[in-house]
């Protein structure tokens, strides 16, 4: 298991940008596929984006495709989520997730559902987009 800590959230106006970071502890970060989920008040946690352990494959929810970019720096044990053209409907608590992918090929990404990401989760960070 890895310990995950998110940072970079906050309040931004619609159309603005934020970059979330998720720092992981441990020496096996490069063995983990990493993902971002979010949960708005009164709604279920939903998948946002994911990246393979190698960084060579990425996947996005349709709602953020073209606006958000996920990346990782395995030397810094950190995954990022660059969020551009933010909308009020992006307001949510954002969670970082890690899934051990060491037994899979390097481009493997778990399915984009909550149950496929049983593993390590961060504590979450608030992102608020005002209209």
pLDDT digits (tens, 9 = 90+) for 21-61: 999 997 799 999 999 999 999 999 999 999 999 999 999 99
Tokens for 84?
């551009």
For the record, the structure tokens of 117 come out as 């990401």
Read off the pLDDT band of 114 (50, 70, 90): confident
DSSP H or E run through 46? strand 46-51
Task: Quickly state the pLDDT bin for 10 (edges 50, 70, 90).
Answer: very high
What pLDDT does 115 receive?
86
pLDDT-derived band at 66 (thresholds 50, 70, 90) equals very high
Q: What's the average model confidence in pLDDT over 56-82?
A: 97
Separation of alpha carbons 9 and 12, rounded Å: 9
List the end-to-end C-alpha distance of the chain, in Å, as a whole number: 39
The pLDDT tens digits of the residues spanning 90-113 come to 999 999 999 999 999 989 999 998
Q: Which residues pair with 130 in a beta bridge?
A: 13
For 12-32, what is each residue's pLDDT tens digit? 999 999 999 999 997 799 999
pLDDT recorded at residue 55 = 95
- In this prediction, residue 1 has a pLDDT band, given cuts at 50, 70 and 90, of confident
């Amino acid at each position: 298991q890895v310990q995950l800590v998110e940072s970079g959230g906050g309040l931004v106006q619609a159309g603005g940008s934020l970059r979330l970071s998720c720092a992981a502890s441990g020496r096996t970060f490069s063995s983990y596929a990493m993902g971002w989920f979010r949960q708005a008040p009164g709604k279920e946690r939903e998948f946002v984006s994911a990246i393979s352990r190698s960084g060579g494959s990425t996947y996005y929810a349709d709602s953020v495709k073209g606006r958000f970019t996920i990346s990782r720096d395995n030397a810094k044990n950190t995954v990022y989520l660059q969020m551009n053209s933010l909308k009020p409907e992006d307001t949510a608590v954002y969670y970082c997730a890690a899934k051990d992918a060491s037994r899979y090929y390097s481009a493997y990404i778990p399915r984009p559902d909550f149950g496929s990401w049983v593993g390590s989760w961060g504590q979450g960070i608030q992102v608020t987009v005002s209209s």
